[in-house]
Structure 1
Amino acid sequence: MITFNRVRSSILKAKDHRRQLLGIHETDVLRASIAEAPHFRALLSEIQAEAERARREPAPELSFTDFHLFAAQGTRIEYEKPYFERRGRLLALALEAWLHPEQKDLDALQNEIWMLCNEYSWALPAHLPYTLEGVASSRVTMPEVVDLFASETAHALAETLYLLEGRLNPWVVHRVREEIERRIFRPMFDTPNTFPWESSTNNWSAVCGGAVGMAALLLVDDRERLAGMTDRVIRAMGSFLEGYEDDGCCAEGVGYWNYGFGYYVYFAEMLYEFTNGKLNLLQGDKIRRIASFPAAVALTAPLYVNFSDCSETYVPNTGLVSRLHRRLGQPVPEMTAVPSLHADHCYRFPHTVRNLLWTDASLLHQPAAEGTFTFPDTAWIIDKHRLAGGLFAFAAKGGHNDEPHNHNDLGHFILHAAGETLLSDLGAGVYTRDYFREGRYTYLHNASEGHSVPLINGLPQAADREHEAAVLKQEVAPDSRLVYSLDLTGAYPKNSGLRSYIRTFEWSGQAEREEAHLRVNDSFTFAEAVNGVEEFFISLQRPILSPGSVTWRGQTGEVKLTYDADTFSAEAEVIESLDHGSHPLTVHRLRLRAGRVPGEASWSFLFTARAL
């Protein structure tokens, strides 16, 4: 624990505190190396193209009609698309100006900054009160709501001033400082009242706290005030870390690891530089385990184990990963390229800036780590083997059904064959108002029916903390089989008629046969003599059905399921959905229906994965 006495002392004693806050030492040499580096070529081209487009085309409008749509019908994308496009224009124009210090014409950038300062609220409609009654009873006015995106906007503007110090019109600099003071610093720091996210144990506390904290380090000259502000941010960071168990697993998935822990690291490193190393938030075994998470869940690039609201594709921010490796020596996931400017549709400022400043090219193109990775507190397990044809991997999860960005998915699993994930997790759906309210589990992506788990007597798994799994066994058998057994009885509602449900996974990769095997054993005890069970298996590949077998075939690998045709009738279902970005997503769900299941029953499914 870092005490306020230590925070204050370190802030007050810091010398030349702003000279190298981003770790920039010889600026001209750094710019030249960035310009000449082959791994930055594509990103620099994108920055230039987007900056030219921003100078040529007018910024998109943020209309009242689009602003009001979230309250009126619960949709977000109509307002958020132009909102984030504005942030992308700022990022490109600011970076292009920093990369080319000889550039004199900064009108487009300054107009972009001025336009952002004119926005009604930097917070998104989804994070504001839905009604005028709610607005009237709010502790702060709508321009003073400090949410994820208000915080990120403040930081982006503050860092733009820092990177272009002495080059922007003093009126623009004054306006930015005035707006950040009015919208962010006063409502957050000039009152003992807190925003709810300050005690949140998910990504909000790190993102909001980290972004606001960096803006303060960049802008606030009063050291006594800055000490108090920094102490409050550090307390929010403590709340964020409480959301992680000691095993370091991010239950929200690698995308949210990148988001929450990324901002934690960005703030931690700026604070470290500001205080000349006196305040170091990147210490301890738990931090090292959190930093190792992406390497554990990495599959064949760009694929990852993606339980919860996480995309199965993720491109690591090479700057963030490089800095963690440098500071902590942690393993890195496979990184094939520096992310595109457009990889993050929100255009978050620190990701791209740190990719340029911190990326270690020697860490690119390293293969994903192999072996068994266990997270005992969160009850995740991942096992990876590199066989002929590529990487083969299995992942499964226990836990409970009230996790951050929860899906009702206890006992769900992923199967990766020769570089392709063929038994899948659907990840996040389209975020709407109802997605985070009572209707959350009507969405396929979040519901039990969208995961490779069964329906019991017509009932799916239920949400809430009381519905949990218990790990019964986790071991590597003498024949190198990984055995992972879960008691899933508690995952289902009490009126399901279920007395006991045990799911056991047996997984092995066989180099001599150039294939991997997963056996899933399900054992049930029921209260009634006759029951119904429907086993679901989820894929993004069309299943090929034959009597007693099903095959999912990709471009480089395939998985074949063998089951008892006397027990089950098979049905392949096609469900049209939308991914998180509102793009069409075709889901293939295999339904194996067992009728008239007796009071005690058990069966096995054998999955054989091989390269094509």
Structure 2
Amino acid sequence: MLFSRKKGERLLPSKVMDRNWWNKRPSHPAWQAPAAEVASEAGQLINRGTPPLTDDLFRLFEETGSRQEYEAVYFHRRHRLNTFAFMTLLHPEKKQYKQALREEVEDVCSEYSWCLPAHIKDDDPNTIDLFAAETSFALSEMKSILGTELGERLCRRIEEEVRGRVLQPFLNHTYHWETADHNWAAVCAGSVGAAAMHLLEKGEVLDAVLERNMRTMDYFLSGFNEDGVCLEGCQYWQYGFVFFVYFADLLLAETKGRIDLFQKEKVHQIARFQQNAFLYRNKVIPFSDCVPEQSVPLGLSHYLHQCFCDVTVPDYHLRKPYTADHCARWAPLLREWIWLDETLEGREWEEKDEVMDASQWVVSRFRSGEDHYAFAAKGGHNDEPHNHNDVGHMIMMKNGEMFLKDLGAGLYQKGYFDEKRYTFITNHALGHSLPVINGSWQTQGADRKAVQTKTVQDESHLVYGLELKDTYPVSGLTSFHRTFTWYKKEKPMLEILDAYELETPPNGFTEQFILGDLPWKEEEEGVIAADGMQIRYDPVQLRPVMTREHFTNHSGRKEFYQLLKLYVHYPPQTGIIKITFSFS
């Protein structure tokens, strides 16, 4: 008998425990590609040793502020663990992978800490961060599914380590993430709850854990508006909300349908966010700390479609490859296999306009001939989760190429999540398409917010208006109103109309726009162009300056963009500025 069935059969679909189901996956058309990816990775890893997590690596964050060195080794170890677990399921006849899995489990159980150094304060052994919680989920679930292969001694070791590092500290302490309204709440509570459901028998202790987890999930959901927008960005929808779904699914099974978190209408709207956040193929709206390209968790999408019929089934070719998640999380990988429904036929993202009033996001996908265009803009406020000072910012795209650009997430490093956050250009207002008024730019704070003033939608155009005066710390600024008009025609055009009023004439007013790193040039007075786009402005009113800039992106690589500044000549007390961006 390959599997330890008791917990797995109670919580997971029966096919997960079916050896024949796994044996047939590598030859099934829907699973051939992921099976080949797993096998390819396994073939490369099997003859390499497990890299050590040394004390020197652990201390690097405190000494230098760099997270990358330790985390690269940490996540590689999780990748090895997952890969050998899948190979044991898919190819149980290849005994070397079963032995490798046992060794990886032993190594993970022997780590000094399951937390990342960036998340531990004062070397507190009771810390439960995202990755300690996720590791407890992964090992507990592997024990349920692969218990017989792991053997009795390793199963006891898993249980001892998960109890000692996560479940017992959770029962004895409270944690900051229990009342958070962002991804930490769902990932930590969801993972702790999942581990508890896999390891603990029904009774008061399990009930106590799950009751706290469910309260935390309420806090998590409170971070969403009723329109379901994930203000942290699509990347964190694929993280926080996904772990909410995993927990809710296991809880539904654990309680035999008695507790169904999917009945909440807000959960339904959040489930629809993915189809609003993708612009073209794998390109997403990169507002907040989000990267501009995302693959699709196809198994999750199929699961949500079964829960809510209006959730779009994406095209199969957008599926998340096995190695896409550099953090190598077990729970998403498993569910990409077991939730995939080969009977569902996916499609490309449909043309649509979506105005999400509560969060003040507007998104438009439009097709003209063979070309796909997209526009998105946001209001909101400057104290959102993973906040960027970006109220009134916009992006514009053709066939996946960003002409009006958002820089997305920067490199996570020391200072990125503390008082130095807005020294990073990705998070600062100057890294967004927003003007500088009287020498000042937008600053952070919940009171730095927009007021939505106008929305007009029809087949030919979309109009969206925002009052932005409260986003600037400018004395005497009585109004700053930005209107976006998106013309959906053969060659779409975006018109931006900025109208401002001050009590006295300003010392300066500078429009600025973040553009893609293209060969922009001044074609004639009042026209700046690159291949496929023209920017038009009044040369009597505005003086252009274009510079090539760069930043360190989320992957640690240098990325370039073009910064267009348009200086207003002798700005008056009251002014109106019109700039158009048209595809050519």
Q: 1:124 aligns with which of 112, 116, 120?
A: 116
Aligned to 1:587: 561
Aligned to 1:68: 59
Contact 1:23 1:273 in 2 (8 A): no
Aligned to 1:21: 11
Write the distance in 2 (CA, Å) between the matches of 1:361 and 1:413.
37
Aligned to 1:465: 446
Contact 1:148 1:204 in 2 (8 A): yes
Contact 2:486 2:492 in 1 (8 A): yes
> How far has the Cα of 1:176 moved from its partner?
0.9
Aligned to 1:524: 500
Question: Taking structure 1 as the reference length, what is the TM-score of the superposition?
Answer: 0.91
Q: 1:598 aligns with which of 572, 575, 578?
A: 572
Instruction: Specify every segment of 5 or more residues in structure 1 that has no aligned partner in the other structure, as ranges.
Output: 1-14, 136-140
Q: 1:177 aligns with which of 137, 152, 159?
A: 159
Q: 1:449 aligns with which of 417, 420, 430?
A: 430
| Residues 333 and 126 of structure 1, relative CA distance in 2, 3 Å threshold | farther
Aligned to 2:397: 416
| Residues 587 and 28 of structure 1, relative CA distance in 2, 3 Å threshold | same
Counterpart mapping for 1:153-192 below 5 A:
153-189=135-171, 191=172
Q: What SS does the aligned partner of 2:292 have?
A: coil
Counterpart mapping for 1:497-508 below 5 A:
497-508=476-487
1:296 aligns with 2:276: yes
Q: One-letter code of the match for 1:261?
A: F
Q: 1:551 aligns with which of 504, 507, 529?
A: 529
Contact 1:43 1:338 in 2 (8 A): no
| Residues 533 and 433 of structure 1, relative CA distance in 2, 3 Å threshold | same
| Residues 71 and 358 of structure 1, relative CA distance in 2, 3 Å threshold | same
Q: What SS does the aligned partner of 2:114 have?
A: coil
Q: One-letter code of the match for 1:71?
A: E
**Deviations along 1:424-475, whole A, 9 cap, x unmatched?**
1111000112011111111111111111111112211110111111101112
> How far has the Cα of 1:159 moved from its partner?
1.4
**Deviations along 1:58-91, whole A, 9 cap, x unmatched?**
1112122221121122211111110100000001
Contact 1:300 1:334 in 2 (8 A): no
Supply the RMSD in Å over aligned alpha carbons: 1.8
Write the distance in 2 (CA, Å) between the matches of 1:71 and 1:375.
41
Aligned to 2:491: 515
Q: What SS does the aligned partner of 1:299 have?
A: strand
Write the distance in 2 (CA, Å) between the matches of 1:488 and 1:201.
25
**Larger displacement relative to structure 2 (415-424 or 429-438):** 415-424
**Larger displacement relative to structure 2 (144-153 or 370-379):** 370-379
Aligned to 1:261: 241
Aligned to 1:57: 48
> How far has the Cα of 1:235 moved from its partner?
1.1
Write the distance in 1 (CA, Å) between the matches of 2:205 and 2:300.
29
Write the distance in 2 (CA, Å) between the matches of 1:101 and 1:217.
26
| Residues 103 and 278 of structure 1, relative CA distance in 2, 3 Å threshold | farther
Aligned to 2:286: 306
Contact 1:422 1:539 in 2 (8 A): yes
Write the distance in 2 (CA, Å) between the matches of 1:111 and 1:269.
30
Contact 1:39 1:338 in 2 (8 A): no
> How far has the Cα of 1:37 moved from its partner?
2.9
Write the distance in 1 (CA, Å) between the matches of 2:554 and 2:457.
36
Write the distance in 1 (CA, Å) between the matches of 2:313 and 2:404.
21
**Deviations along 1:348-379, whole A, 9 cap, x unmatched?**
11111111111134556511022211211111
Question: Taking structure 2 as the reference length, what is the TM-score of the superposition?
Answer: 0.95
Write the distance in 2 (CA, Å) between the matches of 1:348 and 1:107.
21
Write the distance in 1 (CA, Å) between the matches of 2:195 and 2:81.
16
Q: One-letter code of the match for 2:80?
A: R
Fraction of identical pairs, as percent? 35
Write the distance in 2 (CA, Å) between the matches of 1:474 and 1:361.
40
> How far has the Cα of 1:42 moved from its partner?
2.9
Q: What SS does the aligned partner of 2:224 have?
A: coil
Counterpart mapping for 1:209-228 below 5 A:
209-228=189-208
**Deviations along 1:238-295, whole A, 9 cap, x unmatched?**
1111111111110011110010000000111111122222221111221111000010
Contact 2:305 2:313 in 1 (8 A): no
> How far has the Cα of 1:484 moved from its partner?
0.6
Q: One-letter code of the match for 2:297?
A: N
Aligned to 1:389: 370
Q: What SS does the aligned partner of 1:551 have?
A: strand
Contact 2:186 2:244 in 1 (8 A): yes
Q: 2:512 aligns with which of 509, 512, 536?
A: 536
The aligned length equals: 575
**Deviations along 1:324-356, whole A, 9 cap, x unmatched?**
001111322643243112101001111111111
Contact 1:531 1:598 in 2 (8 A): no
**Larger displacement relative to structure 2 (31-40 or 158-167):** 31-40
Write the distance in 1 (CA, Å) between the matches of 2:419 and 2:188.
26
Aligned to 1:40: 31
